[in-house]
A and B are shown apart, each in its own frame.
Chain A
Amino acid sequence: MEDIKNNTGQNMGIAALITAIITFVIAVIPCVGLIAIIPGIIAIVLASVGLSQAASRNAPRGVLVAGLIIAIIASMISVSQVFIAGKIAQKADKWPGDIQNIINDVQDNVVKDLEDANISIKVESNGDKVEINTNSDKKDREKTLENLEGGKTQKNDTLPKKK
Chain B
Amino acid sequence: MKGEKLRKMTLYQRKSSLIQNLKGNLRNEPYLIINIFFAGVILLVMAYSGFFSPEKDNYPVICLHEKLTGEPCISCGLSHSFSLIVRGRIDEAYTWNHYGMRIFLFFAAQLVIRVVFSIFYLRYPDTRRQLIIIDCIGSGLIFLISLWPFIGNIFSGALFRV
Contact = CB atoms under 8 A, between A and B. Distances in A.
Interface in A85-132: 85-89, 91-92
B75 A31 contact: yes
Contact of B150 (A17, A21, A29, A91): A29
A83 B158 contact: yes
Interface in B138-162: 143, 147, 150-151, 153-154, 157-158, 160, 162
B18 interface: no
Contacts of B58: none
B162 A87 contact: yes
A126 B64 CA distance: 67
B34 A80 contact: no
Nearest to B139: A21
Interface residues of B, number: 30
Contacts, number: 83
B78 A80 contact: no
Contacts of B134: none
Contact of A31 (B71, B73, B143, B147): B73
Interface stretch (A32-40, A138-146, A147-155): A32-40
Interface residues of A, number: 29
Given A33-B65, A80-B158, A87-B157, A28 B151 contact: yes
B71 A80 contact: no
B151 A84 contact: no
A31 B37 contact: no
B38 A18 contact: yes
A127 B146 CA distance: 73
A18 B35 CA distance: 9
Given A30-B74, A31-B73, A88-B69, A18 B150 contact: no
A30 B41 CA distance: 20
Contact of B34 (A14, A81, A85, A92): A14
A91 B162 contact: yes
B61 interface: yes
Contact of A17 (B34, B41, B68, B153): B34
A30 B150 CA distance: 7
B69 A92 contact: yes
Contacts of B41: 22
A34 B74 CA distance: 14
Given A32-B64, A89-B71, 15 more contacts: A10-B30, A25-B143, A29-B75, A30-B65, A31-B65, A34-B65, A77-B154, A81-B65, A81-B154, A84-B154, A84-B158, A88-B69, A88-B157, A89-B69, A92-B70
